[in-house]
């Protein structure tokens, strides 16, 4: 399973590639592509997917008979990285560097002295307009070099990194001006003059590895969850609910984009499934009330050298199974009801669960469950797999946990949930 996960991560250097690769996996399994701008017709028993901005994707399966609700998972396609600015090359007479800015909150030090490449998308002029093409340099193309210890004797005493100074990657020598866009154009198979604009990002070239009880790979947050929930979605049997798989872009920058979890994308898709299958507004409300969302985003394992950063009673460990995340201020959506629903699913699947909460004096991170709820409000649980070094260029997780998540979410997708009254539910 982890080998397949590493292949998925390697094929997904950016959110665009993650969506393209996920779409290919789905279409190889018989799912049909829908376009938001075209009229949909849906067939019972069939699977579909739709993308927005080439960086978010929602897939769903239509049950063969009348359905009671939507069983959904959501994860994110993006990871913290550096975006290459519109005018990409910086020349100082000696070196050619790339002009970049931060995308999300990465651990800067982990991006240094590491083989980096560049991938993303370009818009290319066509006869009557333009098209989007994905590009990936695919090889060691840049490095962000540290300053030698001899020139910075305090380097081991806590560094502060200025992204405009310290984090600019070396790309070549001064005489190579123009080479960056030459390479991008070559990878796009287009004339450089026809490239109108770009969305390009650095990425870490390291391949995922399993070692002992652990796995180490780039972008485990959140491609481990994206991969595991996709496996579960594809493997699930038909139930009395429509199953829905969501992969949202822009979680790392707050989700507030047309394709992020704060957008209407999920609502729009649910609305269309309901109405194309003959449901009215009342049917949609009824169905959402009998629905459930599992927001899947990785969690912080207790750190081997710094256990003091974890709450003593809520430490979670790698290979300990699914982490259910709690937060009194509802940065995580989990409450007694959604937690009970999901715990029963895991119990039946024979998958261990552990409870996570931040130390009461540490604010912790945020994720997409509560943000998605502002557009589609329904019972939601926040879960993840325990990992170390979140937002490092190279992250570490448990070797057994991917399989645990596939098992738990397959069991989840095979169920339907009926609201007997507010706060009481039964499985079907």
Q: Site residues (CB under 5 A) for Zn ion?
A: 221-222, 297
**Minimum Å distance from CB 298 to Zn ion?**
6
**Minimum CB distance to Zn ion, residue 239 (Å):** 28
Judged by beta carbon, residue 181 or residue 368, the one nearer Zn ion is 368
Comparing CB distances to Zn ion, the nearer of 224 and 379 is 224
Q: What is the C-alpha end-to-end distance of the chain, expressed in Å?
A: 29
Could you tell me the smallest distance in angstroms from the CB atom of residue 345 to Zn ion?
Answer: 22
Name the token pair of 96. Answer: 């050619």
Q: How far is the CB of 347 from Zn ion (least distance, A)?
A: 26
Q: Output the six-digit token pair for 295.
A: 């927001």
- Of the two residues 297 and 395, which places its CB atom closer to Zn ion in the complex? 297
Please report how the helices 220-235 and 401-413 are oriented relative to each other, as an axis angle in degrees rounded to 10. Answer: 40
Q: Tell me whether residue 188 or residue 389 sits nearer to Zn ion (CB atom).
A: 389
Largest CA distance in the chain: 72
> In the complex with Zn ion, which residue's Cβ is closer, 63 or 254?
254
The neighbour count for residue 7, using CB atoms within 10 Å, is 14
Shortest Cβ 406–Zn ion spacing (Å): 18
Smaller CB separation from Zn ion, 68 or 108:
108
Please report how close the Cβ of residue 251 comes to Zn ion at its closest, in angstroms: 6
Residue 309 CB, nearest approach to Zn ion (Å): 18
**Shortest distance (Å) from residue 221 CB to Zn ion:** 4
- Give 199 or 395: the residue with its C-beta nearer to Zn ion: 395
Rounding to the nearest 10 degrees, give the CA dihedral for residues 150, 152, 153, 154. Answer: -160
Asked if 393 and 352 count as a contact pair (C-beta separation under 8 A), the reply is no
Cβ-count burial of 194 within 10 angstroms (0-12 exposed, 13-18 middle, 19+ buried)?
middle
Return the number of the residue (290 or 298) whose C-beta is nearest Zn ion.
298
């Amino acid at each position: 399973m982890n080998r397949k996960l590493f292949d998925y991560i390697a094929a997904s250097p950016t959110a665009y590639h993650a969506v393209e690769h996920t779409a290919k996996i789905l279409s190889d399994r018989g799912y049909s592509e829908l376009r938001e701008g075209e009229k949909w017709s849906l067939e019972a028993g069939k699977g579909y997917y739709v993308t927005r901005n080439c960086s978010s994707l929602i897939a769903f399966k239509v049950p063969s008979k009348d359905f009671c609700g939507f069983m959904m998972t959501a994860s994110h396609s993006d990871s913290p990285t550096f975006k290459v600015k519109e005018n990409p090359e910086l020349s100082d007479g000696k070196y050619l560097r790339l002009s970049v800015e931060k995308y999300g909150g990465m651990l800067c030090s982990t991006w240094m002295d590491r083989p980096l490449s560049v991938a993303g998308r370009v818009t290319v002029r066509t006869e009557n307009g333009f098209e989007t093409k994905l590009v990936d340099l695919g090889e060691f193309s840049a490095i962000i070099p540290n300053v030698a210890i001899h020139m910075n004797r305090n380097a081991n005493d806590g560094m502060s990194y200025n992204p405009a100074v310290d984090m600019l990657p070396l790309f070549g020598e001064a005489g190579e001006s123009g080479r960056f866009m030459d390479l991008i154009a070559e990878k796009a198979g287009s004339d450089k003059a026809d490239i109108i604009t770009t969305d390009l990002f650095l990425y870490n070239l390291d391949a995922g590895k399993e070692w002992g009880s652990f796995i180490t790979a780039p972008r485990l947050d959140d491609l481990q969850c994206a991969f595991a929930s996709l496996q579960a979605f594809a493997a699930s049997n038909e139930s009395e609910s429509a199953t829905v798989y969501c992969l949202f872009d822009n979680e790392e920058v707050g989700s507030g984009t047309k394709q992020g979890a704060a957008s209407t994308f999920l609502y729009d898709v649910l609305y269309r499934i309901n109405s194309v299958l003959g449901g009215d507004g009342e049917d949609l409300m009824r169905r959402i009330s009998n629905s459930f969302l599992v927001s899947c985003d990785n969690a912080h394992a207790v750190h081997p050298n710094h256990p003091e950063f974890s709450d003593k009673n809520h430490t979670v460990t790698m290979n300990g199974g699914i982490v259910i995340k709690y937060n009194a201020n509802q940065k995580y959506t989990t409450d007694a009801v959604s937690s009970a629903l999901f715990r029963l699913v895991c119990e039946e699947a024979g998958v261990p669960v552990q409870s996570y909460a931040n130390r009461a004096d540490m604010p912790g991170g945020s994720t997409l469950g509560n943000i998605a709820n502002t557009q589609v409000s329904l019972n939601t649980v926040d879960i993840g797999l325990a990992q170390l070094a979140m937002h490092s260029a190279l992250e570490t997780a448990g070797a057994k946990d991917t399989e645990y998540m596939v098992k738990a979410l397959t069991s989840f997708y095979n169920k339907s949930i009926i609201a007997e009254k507010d706060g009481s539910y039964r499985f079907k």
